[in-house]
């Protein structure tokens, strides 16, 4: 089967390559198995290089789309890669507006947005309440070094990504969390709503289930000021008793009691410090009186 490629005037045919390895015109790396070859002039491409998209958005240069080019601009030498600083005669993804270039090798190393292999989900988009742009379901490599904006943990595998800003990312599971939860075991009295940040002036929240600081999004009850982190969202209270018909409400009462105890302990410490200061004051006056009396007798 013949293939027409934009970079070459002759048709290319899938053919086996010499075992010594011949150079791919696109990436300048050797081909050791089979590639797309021109029988007329020896032009040769890896199969994967032959199917690179002509235009794309890339997270290293989210401002403008990049176009795949082969020949450098008229009157110039080979294009210099803006990532590694090297030049070679292969294909380059280029932004003419910014004179920004990514060679094929750097593109492959930094290409974290790989389409999901699932046919049903390949084009699925999500309009998440926390972000203005629609998110596309993608597959992130382990080297992506991205963190989920919802839970704050590293992301690899299926994820919702913003292709417009090139930064906003959610785990697939985080992106599908409901905005409101009714009758959660830790707080069955009122619904919990998903918030992008702490609702308090200090912008700091403490999970009422595990008593740990909350990082990232949280579930919150505006009536009781009850806060739940995403880790505790997926677990149930550990308390079990055969005579307890409503374990969730009992756990809620325990959490409230713990909070009240903390307030009482804090108040007790303040009163203890105040009492200590009051006790120290008379002792100071007595020492001052003794000093003055001793000086008087000496005189």
Same-domain status, 154 and 80: no
- C-alpha 90/C-alpha 72 separation (Å) is 10
Is 144 a domain residue? yes
d(CA 252, CA 244): 13
Torsions phi, psi of 202, nearest 5? -75, -10
* Domain-located, residue 69: yes
What's the CATH number where 45 sits?
Answer: 3.30.60.20
How far is the C-alpha of 244 from the C-alpha of 241, rounded, in Å?
5
Beta partners for residue 137, in sequence order: 160
Q: Are residues 185 and 239 in the same domain?
A: yes
Domain boundary residue, one of 175, 193, 212 = 175
Task: Report yes or no on 279 lying in a domain.
Answer: no
* Dihedrals phi, psi of 294, to nearest 5 degrees: -65, -40
Q: What is the largest CA-CA distance in the chain?
A: 122
Both 91 and 126 in one domain: the answer is no
Residue ending a domain, choose from 33, 50, 67 = 50
Range(s) of the domain holding residue 134: 114-175
Q: Is residue 273 part of a domain?
A: no
209-215 contact pairs (CB < 8 A, 24+): 209/235, 209/237, 209/255, 211/258, 215/151, 215/152
70 and 85 assigned to the same domain: yes
124 domain residue, yes or no = yes
Report CA-CA distances (Å) from 46 to 14, 38, 110. 10, 12, 19
Contact predicate 95/82, CB 8 Å: no
Same domain, 196 and 254: yes
Does 63 share its domain with 43?
no
- One DSSP character per residue, the chain reads -EE--TT-SS-EEEEE--TT-EE-TTT--EE-SEEEE-TTT--EE-HHHHT--SEEEETTEEEEEEEEESSPPTT--SPBPTTT--B-SS-EEEETTTTEEEEHHHHHHT---EEPS-TTTTT-EE--TT-SS-EEEEEE-GGG-EE-TTT--EE-EEEEE-TTTS--EEEHHHHT--SEESSBTTB-SS-EEEESS--STT---B-TTT--B--S-EEEETTTTEEE-HHHHT-------TT-S-HHHHHHHHHHHHHHHHHHHHHHHHHHHHHHHHHHHHHHHHHHHHHHHHHHHH-
For residue 275, being part of any structural domain is answered with no
Successive 10-residue mean pLDDT values, the chain, 299 residues: 74 72 81 78 81 76 80 64 80 87 80 46 73 83 73 81 82 84 82 89 87 88 89 62 47 70 78 75 56 55
> Contact 109/100 with Cβ under 8 angstroms?
no
Question: What distance in Å separates the CA atoms of residue 242 and residue 181, rounded to the nearest whole number?
Answer: 27
Q: Which of 129, 159, 175 is the last residue of a domain?
A: 175
Name the domain count of the chain. 4
10 Å Cβ neighbour count for 297? 6
In this structure, the answer to whether residues 187 and 238 fall within a common structural domain is yes
Main-chain dihedrals φ then ψ at residue 13, nearest 5 degrees = -125, 135
Question: Is residue 25 situated within a structural domain?
Answer: yes
pTM of the model: 0.41
> Is 253 found in the same domain as 183?
yes
| Domain-embedded: residue 291 | no
């Amino acid at each position: 089967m013949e293939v027409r490629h934009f970079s070459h005037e002759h048709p290319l045919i899938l053919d086996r390559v010499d075992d010594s390895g011949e150079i791919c015109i696109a990436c300048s790396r050797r081909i050791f198995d089979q590639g797309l070859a021109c029988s007329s002039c020896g032009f040769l491409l890896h199969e994967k290089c032959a199917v690179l998209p002509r235009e794309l958005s890339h997270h290293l240069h989210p401002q403008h789309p990049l176009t795949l080019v082969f020949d450098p601009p008229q009157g110039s030498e080979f294009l210099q890669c803006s990532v590694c600083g090297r030049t070679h005669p292969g294909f380059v993804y280029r932004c003419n507006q910014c004179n920004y270039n990514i060679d094929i090798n750097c593109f492959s190393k930094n290409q974290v947005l790989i389409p999901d292999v699932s046919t049903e989900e390949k084009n699925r988009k999500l309009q998440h309440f926390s972000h203005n742009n629609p998110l596309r379901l993608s597959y992130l490599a382990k080297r992506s070094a991205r963190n989920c904006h919802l839970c704050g943990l590293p992301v690899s595998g299926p994820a919702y990504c913003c292709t417009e800003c090139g930064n906003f990312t959610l785990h697939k599971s985080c992106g599908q969390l409901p905005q409101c939860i009714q009758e959660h075991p830790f707080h069955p009295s009122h619904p919990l709503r998903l918030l992008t940040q702490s609702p308090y002036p200090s912008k700091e929240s403490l999970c009422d289930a595990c008593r740990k600081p909350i990082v990232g999004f949280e579930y919150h009850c505006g009536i009781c000021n009850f806060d739940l982190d995403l880790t505790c969202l997926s677990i149930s209270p550990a308390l079990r008793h055969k005579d307890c018909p409503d374990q969730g409400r009992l756990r809620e009462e325990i959490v409230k009691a713990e909070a009240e105890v903390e307030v009482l302990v804090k108040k007790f410490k303040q009163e203890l410090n105040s009492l200590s200061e009051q006790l120290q004051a008379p002792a100071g006056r007595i020492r001052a009186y003794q000093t003055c009396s001793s000086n008087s007798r000496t005189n």
